[in-house]
Chain A
Amino acid sequence: MPPEDLGTLLPTWSAIPFAGMLLSIALFPLLAPAFWHHHYPKVSAAWSAVVIVPFAFAYGAPALHELAHVAVVDYVPFIILLGALFTIGGGIYVRGGLRGTPWVNGTLMLIGTLLASWVGTTGAAMLLVRPLLRANRARRYRAHTVVFFIFLVANIGGALTPLGDPPLFLGFLHGVPFFWTFVVWKEMVFTAGAVLGAYLLFDLYWWRREDALLRARPAVPGEPIRVEGWHNVFFLGGVLAAVILSGTVRLGEVTIFGVAQQVQNLVRDAILVLMLAASWRTTPRRVREENQFTWEPIKEVAILFAGIFATIIPVLAMLRVGEGGALAFVIRVVREPAHFFWASGILSSFLDNAPTYLTFLSTALGRLYPGVAEREAIPRLIAENHAFLQAIATGSVFMGANTYIGNAPNFMVKSIAEEAGVPMPSFFGYILRYSLPVLIPVFALATLIFFE
C-alpha cells in the first residue's frame, strides 16, 4: 500500500499524538519546568508509542515502511546536521569587552542576523549572546536588547539557507534545492531591516535614560575583542560544502531498512560527522567551558525530534492526499500564499517550527498536487507556485520569534540572560510588549508587499 493510500485511510484523531507532542514541548517548560527537565524522554516515548504501536498493528508493513522512511530520510540526517553545527559553533568563543551602546548592540545583532543563516540560529545565538550580555552588563535597561536579539539572531536571521533553521533543512531533505532558499532574501532584508530599525529606536530611547556616567565614553579602552577557536570556521565551511554537494551531485541509490537513500546524502552525513569529530578533537576544552558547552541540547533534540518525527507520520500522510484525507478541512481553509504565511507563522509561534513547516509543505502539496509523489510535486511547486513555498518558509522561520516557545533558541537565550541578571519579560509580557507592537505590524506589511 503506497503512503498516499494510507493517508486516505487514517482518521482525524490519529493527529492527536502529534498535537500532544508539540503541546508538551510548548507548555511543559512554562508550566512544569522541573518535571519536564527530568521526564521529557518518557513523555516523548509515550506519545511516540501511542502512534507507532497501533499504527504498526493496524497497517502492518506500509506503516513500518513509513517509520523507516522518516528515520532514514529525515531524522538521522537532521540530528547529524544539528549536532555538527552545535558542536562546531560551541567551539568558537568571542572574548573581550564591548560597550553596550545602541550602535554596538545593533552591530552585534546585524552580525548575528547575517551569521545565523550559515551556523544556524542556535549556533549564532550561542556564539553572540554572551558578548552581548557582557557588553550590556552595566546598563539598567537591557531586557529589550535580549528580546530583539531573540527576534533577529535566534529567528529571522536563519531564513536564507537550509543551515539557518531546522525547517529549511527539512525542506532541503525533502527536495527543496539548497540555493532556492535565497529567493526569500527580499523578505528577510525587509523584515530584519524593519526589526533592527525598531530596535535602534527603542535602544536610543532607553540609552538616553541611562546614567550619564555610563553614557560617557570611558577614558580607558576595554579588553580588545578576540575570537578563540576560530579554526572551527573551516569546519563550518566543510559542513556547508557537504550539504551543497549532496544537493548537486548524484552518486546513485542504496537501500537501508527497505528505504531508498541517495549515496550523496550518506556521504554528506559522513562528512558532517567527520567535521563534528574534528572540531571536538581540535578545540581546547577551555573554549568549550567558556561557552558552557554540554551535549544536553543535542540529547534534547535527538529525543524530542524522535517523538516529533514518529507522531507526524499520520499527519503528513493525511495532508499529502489533499481533500481525499481526513484533514481536508485544513487544505480547504488555507488557500493563498498569505494564508500559508500566517497559518504556518501562527502555528510556528506556539509549536516547534520544523514540524510546522513540514505540515504546511504537505498541505500545499496536497492542495496543489494531490496524490503526486513528493519528489515530483516539490519541483513543480517551486516552478509553478513558488510563492506558496516562500510563504511557508518565511512564516515558519520569522514567526518563531513571536513567543518564547516558537523556536528552541528563544528559551535558551532567555535562560542565559536571566542567569546573567537580566530580568526578562514574562511569557505574556514578551508578546504584549514586544511581539504584538513590533513583529506583527512588520509581518502584516511583509504580507502586503510580498504575498498579496
Chain B
Amino acid sequence: MTAWHELVVDGAERTLRAFVAGFLAGRGEHAGGVFGSDIALAAGSFGERLKALFAAGSHQVFLAPEPLAVPLARALGERGRELGLVVERRRVVESAKFSFRAEAFSRDVAAQIRDALLVTLPAGVRVEQRSEKEETHPEAHGPEPFAPLHEYIYRVSGDIVGPFEGVLEVWQRARTLEFVETDSLHLEGKILSA
C-alpha cells in the first residue's frame, strides 16, 4: 500500500479546497486525498487538543498518498503563502486506528456488520481488542409490551488497526452501517518537515 502523508495547513479551508482542486485538475486528476474535516480525526496529545481549540477554523488537515502529497506540499510552499496558506507540519502516517462497537437485533444486520468489520478487511488491516458475542432468547419470540427482550442479540466491539488507506476504507464502510458506532480516527506517524 502507498504511504499516506498528513499536511497540516494554516489558512482558510475554502482556499485550501480550491487550491487542492486546482492542483488536481492541473495534474489531470479528479480526486485524491481526503480533508480532515470530512472525516472524524482525533486530536492527539493534550497539547494538540489545546492548540486545536485555539486555532479552530484556521488549521486544516489534508491527507493524501505520497505521490500526491509531496508535490502538493511543494506547490503550497511555493505559491501558498500569497493565498494565505502555510504548511505547518507534514508527517508520514504510519498507521491508523479507530474503535467501534455495535449492538444489533437481527441476524441479517449482524451478518452485514460481521462481514464489513471483521471478515472482508483490506490488506494489512486487522482487528484488535475484538469482543464478539451472540445471545439468543427463544422464549422472547413475539411482541412484549412490558418485559421486552430481543430474541437475538449480537454485540461486537474492537479496534480497527493498520495502514491509513485501509483503515479509512473500513471506517467509511462502518459509517454507512446502521447499529454501528465509531470513534474518531487516530493517526500515528513520523513528522517530516513543514
> How long is the Cα–Cα vector from A37 to B147 in the complex, in angstroms?
5
Scan residues 103-141 of chain B and give those whose CB is less than 8 A from a CB of chain A: 104-106, 108-109, 137, 139-141
Chain B contacts of A293 at CB under 8 A? 142
A-contact bits for B159-181, CB 8 A (1 contact / 0 none): 00000000000000000001100
The answer to whether A411 and B141 touch (CB under 8 A), given A418-B105, A421-B178, A423-B179, is no
Q: Is the CB of B143 within 8 A of A292?
A: yes
> How long is the Cα–Cα vector from A118 to B64 in the complex, in angstroms?
62
Scan residues 21-68 of chain A and give those whose CB is less than 8 A from a CB of chain B: 25, 28-29, 33-34, 36-37, 40
Q: Is the CB of B106 within 8 A of A304?
A: no
Closest B residue to A39 by beta carbon equals B147
B-contact bits for A115-134, CB 8 A (1 contact / 0 none): 00000001000100000000
Closest B residue to A294 by beta carbon equals B142
Chain A contacts of B143 at CB under 8 A? 126, 292, 294, 296-297, 412, 415-416
The answer to whether A415 and B108 touch (CB under 8 A), given A37-B140, A421-B178, is no
Chain A contacts of B144 at CB under 8 A? 37, 296-297, 300, 411-412, 415
- Whether a CB of chain B sits under 8 angstroms from the CB of A376 is no
> How long is the Cα–Cα vector from A33 to B150 in the complex, in angstroms?
9
Chain A contacts of B147 at CB under 8 A? 28-29, 33, 36-37, 40, 300
Chain A contacts of B141 at CB under 8 A? 292, 294
> How long is the Cα–Cα vector from A356 to B148 in the complex, in angstroms?
22
The answer to whether A419 and B151 touch (CB under 8 A), given A126-B143, A294-B141, A296-B142, is yes
- Whether a CB of chain B sits under 8 angstroms from the CB of A76 is no
- Whether a CB of chain A sits under 8 angstroms from the CB of B20 is no
Tally of A interface residues using CB under 8 Å? 31
Chain B contacts of A37 at CB under 8 A? 137, 139-140, 144, 147-149
Chain A contacts of B151 at CB under 8 A? 419
Closest B residue to A289 by beta carbon equals B142
Chain B contacts of A423 at CB under 8 A? 178-179
Chain A contacts of B140 at CB under 8 A? 37
Q: Is the CB of A122 within 8 A of B145?
A: yes
Closest CB in chain B relative to A136 CB, distance in Å: 13
Q: Is the CB of A421 within 8 A of B108?
A: yes
- Whether a CB of chain B sits under 8 angstroms from the CB of A346 is no
Closest B residue to A410 by beta carbon equals B145
Chain A contacts of B137 at CB under 8 A? 34, 37
Scan residues 404-423 of chain A and give those whose CB is less than 8 A from a CB of chain B: 408-409, 411-412, 414-416, 418-423
Q: Is the CB of A408 within 8 A of B146?
A: yes
Of A412, A415, A420, most buried by chain B (CB within 10 Å of CB) is A415
Q: Is the CB of A421 within 8 A of B106?
A: yes
> How long is the Cα–Cα vector from A25 to B149 in the complex, in angstroms?
13
The answer to whether A418 and B108 touch (CB under 8 A), given A297-B145, A412-B144, is no
Closest B residue to A418 by beta carbon equals B105
Closest B residue to A404 by beta carbon equals B148
The answer to whether A418 and B146 touch (CB under 8 A), given A37-B140, A294-B141, A423-B179, is no
> How long is the Cα–Cα vector from A126 to B178 in the complex, in angstroms?
24
The answer to whether A33 and B149 touch (CB under 8 A), given A412-B144, A421-B178, is yes
Of A25, A36, A37, A422, most buried by chain B (CB within 10 Å of CB) is A37
The 10 A-B pairs at the shortest CB distance, nearest first, are namely A408-B145, A294-B142, A37-B149, A300-B146, A292-B142, A423-B178, A412-B145, A415-B148, A418-B105, A412-B143
